[in-house]
Amino acid sequence: MTLGEIVKELGLEVLTGNINLNKEIKSGYVSDLLSDVIANIEQDSIWITIQRHINILGVAKLKDVIAIVIPRNLSVEEEVIKKAKEEGIAILRDRRNAFEITGLLYNMLKKAQNK
């Protein structure tokens, strides 16, 4: 399933333009602890976190994360959005909490894998 399909189906707000919308998402991960993400996230994943500082981009780049989803419509500084565009990392946002987003995303990815 592509990031663009996920954005459309979940109605996510895209903060970084068209970056990575055509890339395939293979899995997802939820964590706010950067060292946990470094140790456990898979390549080509979507990462859900409430962290919004510039360091999330370093982790995402290191682990080849396609997109970061920020829950609860939390604000993201323009500096972080600009750097994400430069690094080729999509930043998305949604009104729902991390638990809800995770459940929806998990079901979508499982359904897509079973086709």
CATH of the domain at 78: 3.40.1390.20
Q: How many domains does the chain have?
A: 1
37, part of any domain: yes
- Residue-wise pLDDT tens digits, 84-109: 999 999 999 999 999 999 999 999 99
What's the predicted TM-score (pTM) here?
0.96
Residues 6-17: pLDDT tens digits? 999 999 999 999
Range of the domain at 92: 13-113
- DSSP state string for 9-74: HHTPEESSTTTTTTSBP-EEEE-S-HHHHHHHPPTTEEEE-S--STHHHHHHHHTT--EEEE-TT-
